[in-house]
Every structure is written in C-alpha cells, then in structure tokens.
C-alpha cells in the first residue's frame, strides 16, 4: 500500500502532467482559432478549412462530454481544487471565459470563411 504522503506527491505529479498536456492542447486550438481569420484574409482557404476541421473535432469532443473537456475530468481525480484554472495553466479569468471567448471567435471565423468560400 502506498503511504499517504507518497500518494500526494504522485497526485501532484499527475496533476502537473495533465495541466501541461491540457495547456499544450489548448494552445494548439486557440492558435488555430486565431489563425483562421488570418488565413482567410491571406486567401489561404484550404489552410483555413483544415484549421476549422481540427477545431470542429474539438467541438465534437466537447459536445460528447457535455461541454466539458475530458482532461478536466482527469485532472479532477488528482485534486480537490475546483478553481476555474485548476486543470490548465491559464489565468483564472481566461479559464473561466475560455469557451465563451474562443467559441465566439470560432463562430465568427466560420462566417468569415463561409463568406470567402461563397464569394471567392
């Protein structure tokens, strides 16, 4: 049996690993969402479509998990903390409004991309 102190260190390491992975994945998708309007503006519609496909994949994952990230559920196993950013290395305000902010930006980018595809 693992002593409680060792179990706590293991939990801290596991939580740190989940936070690191979650932050890296978030950075990929946030960057993709920010890059879509730029690629559309530059006329790189194929690149914009691929970025959109990646983000839509993440949307499907979120929808299938009741708008929660599976990594959040995994991180919850290793801590009692439930601050908005307990599972990711982001400022608390950004973690709190992440889906609303980037969801809005993604929706707008999809309108921009759709317009470019229809008129281009």
Query: Mean pLDDT for each 10-residue chunk of the chain (120 residues)?
Result: 57 96 98 98 98 98 96 96 97 97 98 96
Element (H, E) at 40: helix 4-41
**CA of residue 77 relative to chain centroid, distance:** 19
Written as six digits, the tokens of 116 are 């470019």
pLDDT at 120: 80
Give the model's pLDDT for residue 1.
46
Report pLDDT for 7.
Answer: 55
- Domain residue ranges of the chain, discontinuous segments joined by +: 4-119
Residues 38 and 40: their CA atoms lie apart, in Å, by: 5
In this prediction, residue 116 carries a pLDDT of 98
User: Shortest CA distance to 63 belongs to which of 111, 104, 103?
Assistant: 103
Burial class (CB in 10 A: 0-12, 13-18, 19+), 87: buried
What is the pLDDT at residue 104?
98
Q: How many CB atoms are closer than 10 A to CB 104? A: 12
pTM of the model: 0.88
Q: CA torsion, points 4, 70, 103, 119, in degrees to nearest 10?
A: 150
């Amino acid at each position: 049996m693992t002593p409680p102190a060792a179990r706590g260190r293991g939990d801290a390491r596991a939580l740190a690993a989940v936070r690191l992975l979650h932050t890296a994945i978030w950075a990929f998708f946030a960057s993709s969402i920010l890059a879509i309007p730029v690629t559309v503006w530059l006329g790189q519609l194929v690149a914009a479509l691929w970025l959109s496909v990646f983000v839509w994949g993440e949307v499907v994952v979120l929808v299938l998990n009741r708008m929660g990230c599976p990594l959040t559920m995994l991180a919850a196993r290793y801590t009692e903390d439930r601050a908005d950013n307990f599972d990711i290395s982001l400022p608390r305000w950004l973690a709190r409004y992440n889906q609303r902010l980037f969801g809005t930006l993604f929706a707008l980018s999809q309108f921009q991309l759709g317009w470019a595809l229809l008129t281009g």
